[in-house]
Amino acid sequence: MTSQHAWSTPVQLGKVALKNRIAVAPMTRISATEDGLVTEDMVRYYQGFAEGGFGLLITEGIYPDLAHSQGYLHQPGIADDRQAQSWKPVVEAIHGTGAKVIMQLMHAGALSQGNHWTRESIGPSAVQPKGEQLGFYRGEGPYAMPREITEQEIAGVIQSFAAAALRARQAGFDGVEVHGANGYLLDQFLTDYTNHRHDRYGGSTENRVRLLVEVIQAVRAAVGPDFVVGIRISQGKVNDYHHKWANGQQDAEIIFSRIAAAGADYIHTTEYDAQAPAFGEANSDGDTLAGYAKRFGKLTVIANGKLGTPEAADAILAKGDTDIVALGKSALANRDWPRRAVNGGGFEEFDFGLLQPLAHIKTSEV
Ligand SMILES: Cc1cc2nc3c(=O)[nH]c(=O)nc-3n(C[C@H](O)[C@H](O)[C@H](O)COP(=O)(O)O)c2cc1C
């Protein structure tokens, strides 16, 4: 007899039916060719998760243009037809198992530490990013000082997300996820200390979320109503783990309600611990970030962060804070996590050695 866990039940994501509520979280593995084409290792890597029983795979962050969006050397792109075509074997391999696949579209902005197409990085303002470049993605030392982009260039960024989303649709993907989290370009606009603009994209929370809203609107207009469109949102960043929104619950209401009104199908929240209260006592009622996304966005929610046991996944689903759970490191350690969970557990611990000295896909993984 199969035991019926909350995570193992089917769920609808926009117009797409998922066989269960466990997704692979987006994870950059810098295993493409220098010019951003998908490699055979990547096809087998993604196929492994699909064969292991995950209902949904969200790809690593993919760059949408040949200008400033690439963040890491050997990151894959979907900036032109050649790159888009190279994704077809990944889509076919995943669909062959009955799983679905969403492409994460990512503009690195000021956190770009390796770009095949340009040496310059851009951001909302000329503010040097905190922290240091990521060594396991071939970076070293402080981040470069970005150049502040013009309103005209912002319009170009919006268009590049829309064009990339359309290419993803044509390549057979089930949807796209706009990367609005973790400190990359859209999150740089959302974040008070990296956005010092005086135009309609800077200042109030309403203004700082405007670029995210306009990207979702443009993507939705490009792909039509029946293609899944989501967005990932976080407080923490790869270069500032502990950042919190200054106005807690009030910011959450503005951000999540505007994203929902823009035409997204889902909100994907990520926190270090998805089950922890999102904000301090003073400016919140103690809910999780996923819970606020649900309350203020009223959309399907994907929650991520330390949810890699069936008990944790079931608990956050049962609480009603989320509809789907995305697994990062626990999925890397257990490519057949859903199979193992059905069979009563026995999970491998994640070993950071897998990502050392570089985070590329290892022979042992394919
Ligand atoms: C190797 C690695 C690469 C990652 N790359 C991305 C990425 O491309 N896009 C993204 O949104 N998050 C990325 N993340 C963050 C994960 O999606 C996830 O939020 C994080 O691992 C926490 O979830 P967990 O506790 O289940 O591991 C990455 C994480 C890891 C470990």
pLDDT for the residue 76:
98
Question: What rounded mean pLDDT belongs to the chain?
Answer: 97
pLDDT for the residue 48:
98
Residue 272 a catalytic site member:
no
* pLDDT tens, position by position, 77-113: 999 999 999 999 999 999 999 999 999 999 999 999 9
pLDDT for the residue 2:
47
Q: Is the CB of 362 under 6 A from ligand 1?
A: no
Calculate how far, in angstroms, residue 198's C-alpha sits from the geometric centre of ligand 1: 32
Q: Which atom of ligand 1 is nearest to the CA of 182?
A: 11
pLDDT for the residue 197:
98
Which residue in this structure is represented by tokens 């797409």?
A: 16
List C-alpha distances in Å: 306 to 51, 303, 311, 313, 341.
Answer: 23, 10, 11, 9, 16
Catalytic residue among 184, 201, 266, 292: 184
Q: What is the pTM of this model?
A: 0.98
* pLDDT tens, position by position, 165-208: 999 999 999 999 999 999 999 999 999 999 999 999 999 999 99
Residue at 132: amino acid letter: E
Collect all residues with Cβ–Cβ distance below 8 Å to 190 and sequence separation of at least 6.
180, 208, 209, 212, 255
Report strand pairing: 228-234 vs 300-304: unpaired
Q: Is the CB of 104 under 6 A from ligand 1?
A: yes
Question: Residues 330-349: what's their mean pLDDT?
Answer: 94
| Among protein residues, the one whose CA lies closest to atom 4 of ligand 1 | 27
Q: Is the CB of 113 under 6 A from ligand 1?
A: no
Closest CA to 234 of 302, 313, 320: 302
- Choose between 2 and 90: higher pLDDT: 90
* pLDDT tens, position by position, 146-167: 999 999 999 999 999 999 999 9
- Choose between 5 and 258: higher pLDDT: 258
C-alpha 206/C-alpha 42 separation (Å) is 39
Q: Which atom of ligand 1 is nearest to the CA of 307?
A: 26
Calculate how far, in angstroms, residue 305's C-alpha sits from the geometric centre of ligand 1: 9
pLDDT at 279 over 80: yes
Per-residue confidence band for 1, with pLDDT thresholds at 50, 70 and 90? very low
Question: Residues 323-345: what's their mean pLDDT?
Answer: 95
Q: In degrees to the nearest 10, what's the CA dihedral of 223, 108, 59, 136?
A: 170
C-alpha 128/C-alpha 193 separation (Å) is 10
pLDDT for the residue 26:
99
Q: Is the CB of 334 under 6 A from ligand 1?
A: no
Per-residue confidence band for 3, with pLDDT thresholds at 50, 70 and 90? low
pLDDT for the residue 335:
97
Q: Is the CB of 265 under 6 A from ligand 1?
A: no
C-alpha 137/C-alpha 29 separation (Å) is 8
